[in-house]
Chains A and B, each alone.
Chain A
């Protein structure tokens, strides 16, 4: 069975500093990995995904994520955080042949001025 772990319930960072939101996964075979962001009282918005190819994936709003197969990780990063990045972030995984997307529990990112 596939699973996703986001070990931090909340990440606090000062505006302008780099941020990392951690994600590890477990899946049979090669994974499809996704990051979504959720603002208060809204649906999930797609940020980026890894399917194959370059391990460093660039996405929306200046975010990027690095796929590390040996560590089964897909950490979300941004070089310089903005207050407007404060939101709930979800990592998700799917097997290529599978129908089900499995989500992590979410990490709340708080960026302080």
Chain B
């Protein structure tokens, strides 16, 4: 059971370039989300999805797009990278049913925008 898988692990981008961070989970979880982690600020929610075909904005959505065409995949797109998007990105998932379901995180993607 692979859990939540993110690629790439590390990436360096030039300002203005675009790229996609991939996320896949094999636990049949309905909920998926993307967070960014910055020093002293904890994890902040970028976008989330409660099921295939449904996405919504989190706390810091600007500059990012997402789509959810399948239950398993939830890619995060940076359309025109900016230095402020230098961060560590985490994908997460959890089941919808049941109370207080635990969120499971991927191993992270370290992104540097120069």
Contacts and interface: CB of A to CB of B under 8 A. Distances in A.
A43 B90 contact: yes
B40 interface: yes
B114 interface: no
Interface residues of A, number: 27
B42 A103 contact: yes
B112 to A, nearest CB: 14
B31 interface: yes
A9 B103 contact: no
Contact of A99 (B43, B56, B102): B56
Interface residues of B, number: 25
Contact of A44 (B44, B48, B90, B100): B90
A100 B58 contact: yes
B13 to A, nearest CB: 19
Contacts of A42: 107-108
Contacts of A104: 42
B31 A99 contact: yes
5 contacts: A43-B4, A51-B100, A90-B43, A99-B50, A106-B40
Interface of B: 4, 31, 33, 35, 40-45, 48, 50, 56, 58-59, 90, 99-100, 102-108
